[in-house]
Amino acid sequence: MVAMLVGLVVMAGVGSVFLAGQRINRTHRALGDVQESLRMAFELLSRDIRHAGATGCGNRRVANVLAEGPANGGVAWWADWRHAIRGFGGDDPDVTAGRAAGDRLAGQPSLQLLGGGETSFSVASHDDARATFTTRETVADVTAGDIFIACDHDHAAIFKVGSVGARTVGYAADKDNCSAGLGYPTSCESQGRYAFEANATLTRLDVSDWYVGFNTDRGLSLYRLGREGEALRRQEMVRGVSDMQLAYHQMGHAKPFVRAAEVTDWEQVTAVRATLTVQSTDPQAGVDGALIARQLSMTIALRNRVP
């Protein structure tokens, strides 16, 4: 009986050590997932912030012939180059707040960004009369409806692609572009003719609206509303992001960083301070069966606006 009692005590001790080891391993795994999610979230968000307002060749003189842009009577946020960066304190009109998958968490800040992306081509020639660019490379993955920025030493011009060939990108004055002239400055009443020089760049315009929203498991995630061809699509980027706070550095403002409602001129914003909170997907990985949450802040500068 004594031997059995001693055996039970030993087994209980071994079992306790085993369970403790499992709990520690569970906690470490969840903590690693949280840290990886934070790293990934900042890497993706930072990329879009750094590219905001970028034209592909550094020229800040920009003509915009998109018919849906506010300057041409349109209302589309993704066509408004004057707001290459624009934040909201919880009242973003372009992302529905609700509890369905992909909906924005009500009251959460969001951030809209426009800028030259990673898809870029070198111009061999530009036929202004025929509204066609000929590129040096094959224009792979380019489709009608994409938005591009043409840029050379004189200025940049934003337009919507109407036709695509093996090495050609065409556009026209139609429902998408209010003018076929890409000169600077350009208005819908004036053709603004201009032929971009050889070795100019064609860069796809990336547009994004970042926010925290509900995922398919009724949890929270970091989402990106982006434009693919003619469509706007919501994409879940990082799961477990439960909160995003944003502050902005505006040149000439009395305060170093301000909330969206305090920004008086978005064209003078040069940096964003983002604070993200990420929770573990395992709701009982922390102490006493609680979830694990970590918060991290980072300041990201807009590359083309840094003096």
Q: What is the pLDDT along the chain (307 residues), one digit of tens a residue?
A: 666 655 555 565 555 554 445 555 555 676 778 889 999 999 999 999 999 999 989 888 999 999 998 878 888 999 999 999 999 999 999 999 999 999 999 999 999 999 998 889 999 999 999 999 999 999 988 999 999 999 999 999 999 999 999 999 999 999 999 989 999 986 676 668 899 999 999 999 999 999 999 999 999 999 999 998 788 999 999 999 999 999 999 999 999 999 999 999 999 999 999 999 998 876 655 555 567 888 999 999 999 887 6
Residue 18 maps to a domain: no
Give a yes or no: residue 286 inside a domain: yes
- Does residue 86 belong to any structural domain of this protein? yes
Domain total of the chain: 1
Question: What's the burial of 185, exposed, middle or buried (CB within 10 Å: 0-12/13-18/19+)?
Answer: exposed
Strands (E), the chain: 62-64, 85-88, 110-127, 132-135, 147-151, 156-160, 163-164, 168-170, 201-214, 220-228, 231-239, 241-250, 269-279, 293-301
Residue 107 within a domain:
yes
CA atoms within 13 A on the CB side of 130: 10
Residue 151 makes CB contacts below 8 A (sequence gap 6+) with 55, 56, 57, 59, 116, 157, 196, 200, 201, 203
Closest C-alpha to 72, from 162, 207, 185, 209: 185
Helix or strand or coil: residue 102?
Answer: coil
Give residue 296's pLDDT.
93
4 occurs within a structural domain: no
| 236 inside domain | yes
| Residue 5 contacts residue 11 (beta carbons within 8 Å) | no
CA 303 to chain centre: 15
Q: How far apart are CA 69 and CA 251, in angstroms?
A: 26
Say what the pLDDT of residue 231 is.
Answer: 87
Residues ≥6 apart with Cβ < 8 Å to 209: 77, 92, 94, 95, 110, 111, 112, 113, 224, 225, 226
Residue 9 falls inside a structural domain: no
Give me the domain span that covers residue 99.
31-301
Residues near 106 by beta carbon (within 8 Å), at least 6 away in sequence: 90, 97, 98
- CA pair distance 148, 50, nearest whole angstrom: 18
Burial, 264: exposed, middle or buried (Cβ in 10 Å; 0-12, 13-18, 19+)? exposed
State the DSSP H helix or E strand holding residue 5, giving kind and residue range, or none if neither. Answer: helix 2-51
Q: What angle do CA 238, 226, 300 make, to 5 degrees?
A: 60
- Does 247 map to a domain? yes
- Does the global pTM surpass 0.85? yes
Q: What is the pLDDT of residue 18?
A: 44
Show the tokens assigned to 183: 């000169």
